[in-house]
């Protein structure tokens, strides 16, 4: 095993090659071109409008990692991993790969991020990620789809693990495209929902809520959770929201919720909980992404307890799910 250490380190050093190669395949839509059967390199190159020789080398490398397969006649086909890059695949990862490819210039700024404490995304693009996406509608739509691709599988896991019984009105603070609320209301048809996000986000949310046939069960409210949140709910949920922000910013958000939540209300924070020790954890990978992109962080149980205590909440329970996230329930003190 010891003799493999140099190559293990080479693979880690060159890991960005894998990431960017997958992103290029996703951006070109190569998996979509293979839905109806194998294609030769020449056919794929013609349909994708790319250089055949360079495309072959990209596919050969990806095939060596289990993404795509070349048969003995030089035809390429999908593998289970490549299938996840199809646009129409269940839990498709194509949007996620496209997003990371388009934002790849963030990673060369990681050293400056660590040295100075400044966010790598802002260093790369000149403004914070959510402000930047407000000026880039195409990238914002890809970002929304990427969040679904990364976190879509969590929704059923959360609904299977945690009971929403007793909640009449649920407010989703930072609702994004509304996918979480849609799934929750379909599971709990007597529940009503309040979806809260910025105006430019709600324009996309409304389309998804309407497509799900849930318009009559939902109220869409525009605003900033740094200024206020809507009243009228008996439970307030946030999935992958607090991890975008610093402790001080989280306390500000939680303080606004504390002002409107009923005395017997529930605060549901759906995020990863970082375990102690050196073992691998998805939360530790996500934490590096949070550090580089929105200047946020994944938190440990003690860190959640601290921001709750500082904003008038008490940590009530942590319910693990079959996904990387847990349901962290807090109650107003």
In the sheet that holds 218-222, the strands lie side by side as 218-222, 192-197, 169-173, 235-239, 266-271, 326-332, 313-320
Token couple for 280? 């691998």
SS (H, E, C) 161-185: HCCCCCCCEEEEECCCCCHHHHHHH
Round to whole Å and give the CA distance between 243 and 297: 5
Q: What is the DSSP code (8-state) at residue 262?
A: -
- Beta-bridge partners for 220: 195
Do residues 265 and 234 make contact, with C-beta atoms less than 8 angstroms apart?
Answer: yes
Q: Which of 208, 240, 243, 256 is catalytic?
A: 243
Count the helices and strands in the chain (H runs, E runs).
16, 10
Round to whole Å and give the CA distance between 32 and 34: 5
Do residues 144 and 310 make contact, with C-beta atoms less than 8 angstroms apart?
Answer: no
Residue 263's φ and ψ, nearest 5 degrees, are -60, -30
Indicate if 243 belongs to the active site: yes
Token couple for 67? 């993404």
Round the CA-based radius of gyration of the chain to a whole number and report it.
Answer: 22
Round to whole Å and give the CA distance between 330 and 307: 11
Do residues 28 and 48 make contact, with C-beta atoms less than 8 angstroms apart?
Answer: yes
Strand ranges inside 138-288, DSSP E: 169-173, 192-197, 218-222, 235-239, 266-271
C-alpha dihedral (54, 4, 101, 202), degrees to nearest 10 = 150
Round to whole Å and give the CA distance between 213 and 165: 22
Residues with a known catalytic role: 243
């Amino acid at each position: 095993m010891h003799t493999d250490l140099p190559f293990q380190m080479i693979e880690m050093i060159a890991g960005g090659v894998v990431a960017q190669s997958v992103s290029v395949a996703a951006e070109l839509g190569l998996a979509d071109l293979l839905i109806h059967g194998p294609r030769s390199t020449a056919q794929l190159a013609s349909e994708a409008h790319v250089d055949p020789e360079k495309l072959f080398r990209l596919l050969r490398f990806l095939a060596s990692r289990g993404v795509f397969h070349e048969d003995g006649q030089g035809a390429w086909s999908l593998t289970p991993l490549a299938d996840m890059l199809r646009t129409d695949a269940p839990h498709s990862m194509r949007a996620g790969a496209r997003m990371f490819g388009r934002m790849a210039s963030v990673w060369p700024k990681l050293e400056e991020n660590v040295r100075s404490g400044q966010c790598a995304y802002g260093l790369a693009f000149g403004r914070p990620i959510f402000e930047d996406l407000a000026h880039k509608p195409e990238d914002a739509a890809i970002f929304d789809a990427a969040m679904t691709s990364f976190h879509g599988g969590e929704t059923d896991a959360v609904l299977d693990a945690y009971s929403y019984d007793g909640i009449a009105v649920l407010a989703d603070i930072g609702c994004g495209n509304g996918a979480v609320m849609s799934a929750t209301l379909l599971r709990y048809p007597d529940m009503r929902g309040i979806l809260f996000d910025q105006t430019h986000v709600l324009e996309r949310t409304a389309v998804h809520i309407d497509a799900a046939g849930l318009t009559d069960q939902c109220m869409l409210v525009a605003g900033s959770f740094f200024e206020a949140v809507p009243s009228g709910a008996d439970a307030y949920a946030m999935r992958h929201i607090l991890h975008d922000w610093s402790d001080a910013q989280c306390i500000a958000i939680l303080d606004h919720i504390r002002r409107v939540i009923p005395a017997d209300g529930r605060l549901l924070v759906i995020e990863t909980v970082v375990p102690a020790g050196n073992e691998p954890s998805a939360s530790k990978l996500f934490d590096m992404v949070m550090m580089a992109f929105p200047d946020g962080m994944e938190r440990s149980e003690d860190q959640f307890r601290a921001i709750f205590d500082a904003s008038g909440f008490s940590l009530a329970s942590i319910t693990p799910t079959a996904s990387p996230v847990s349901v962290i329930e807090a109650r107003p003190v």
